[in-house]
Amino acid sequence: MPRSFEELDVWQKSLQLVKEVYRLSSSDKFIKDYSLADKISRAAVSVMSNIAEGFERGSNTEFIQFLYISKGSCGEVRSQIYIARELGYLPDKDFQSCAAMCREVSAQLSGFISYLKGSNLKGEKFRTAYKSRAEEMEEFLKEFKNQNSKFKKD
């Protein structure tokens, strides 16, 4: 398992998606429609931000939840580029390229979600909790052995 969200292929690909959306939405025609340019940019940023936030939460359950949110934002970007194409803000070539990138990120997210659902790993929160419980149990056993040896001496 990667030690940081920056190591995740899907996060790296989502960063490429953000850069592409910002490039496309800054064109002369697109930039005049501030609300759509802003909305699509926010949705693209949401894709990568939710991957990062979910990773940092420390539990696979929460991570999966944030990956689903990220996947939803990816669909939002894809839907919005349809609007941009229909309004004449995006040439078909740029639309096709960005749509393919969205589908690729979405597919990676789906694969990652499936992997995490089938994994026995529970995340950092649980690993830390397990270690502290194990340490507590070890202390308890030492204490129990000490108490037990006192009873045997008496």
Structure tokens at 149: 């040896």
Q: Which pLDDT band holds residue 140 (cuts at 50, 70, 90)?
A: very low
d(CA 58, CA 126): 8
**115 plus 138 within the same structural domain:** no
Q: Are 12 and 6 in contact (CB under 8 A)?
A: yes
Helices H / strands E in the chain, number of each: 6, 0
**34 plus 104 within the same structural domain:** yes
Mean pLDDT of 76-93: 97
**77 plus 135 within the same structural domain:** no
Domain span at 116: 5-120
Q: Are 103 and 78 in contact (CB under 8 A)?
A: yes
Name the residue with higher pLDDT: 121 or 94: 94
- pLDDT of 59 higher than 80: yes
**144 plus 97 within the same structural domain:** no
Q: Which residue has the tokens 């309004």?
A: 87
Q: Are 67 and 51 in contact (CB under 8 A)?
A: yes
The CA–CA distances, whole Å, from 129 to 21, 40, 55, 57, 140 equal 41, 40, 17, 14, 16
With 0-12 / 13-18 / 19 or more C-beta atoms within 10 angstroms meaning exposed / middle / buried, residue 129 is middle
**48 plus 70 within the same structural domain:** yes
- pLDDT of 128 higher than 70: no
User: For the chain, what is the domain count?
Assistant: 2
Structure tokens at 32: 């005049």
Query: What's the whole-model pTM score?
Result: 0.78
